Amino acid sequence: MMILSDTFKEWVTKQEARIWQTLKKERGETSHLLAYTAKLGEEVGELSEQVLARLGYQRESKIMAKGDDELGDECADVILVSLFLAEAAGVDIEKAMIRKMEKLEIRNRES
């Protein structure tokens, strides 16, 4: 089963390498992985803000744009940073996703 196209995987690999070449860091350095983890937290926070805004649980002063595009952009940011983190850590994300999907299917059949 192919989850990610080869073109998309290649793009993620190139982008991840370009980001760290710009910062003059080596792939897999502890600081590299920590930076992606912190960035992922930031992106999840932004996604949370979009969901809260959409549901009307955000103060007016904090609500910026709250349309489908903005929510979609934040979802994409979370996914992309997760892929960059996996790439930097040497994780085969496609295998990990398939393994996780299989575990969830088993769990769902059992419940």
- Residue located via tokens 């190139």: 14
- Residue located via tokens 């002063």: 61
> pLDDT tens digit string along 47-96?
999 998 888 887 776 666 566 688 999 999 999 999 999 988 899 999 99
Eight-class DSSP state of 63: -
What b/e sequence results for 15-36 when a residue is b if at least 16 CB atoms lie within 10 Å of its CB, and e otherwise? ebeebbeeeeeeeeeeebeebb
Q: Where exactly are the structural domains of the chain?
A: 27-110
Q: What angle do CA 65, 69, 74 make, to 5 degrees?
A: 80
> pLDDT tens digit string along 2-43?
788 999 889 998 988 888 777 766 666 788 888 899 999 999
Can you give the pTM of this predicted structure? 0.81
CATH-assigned architecture of domain 27-110: Orthogonal Bundle (1.10)
Q: In whole angstroms, how far apart are CA 101 and each of 104, 105, 106? A: 5, 6, 9
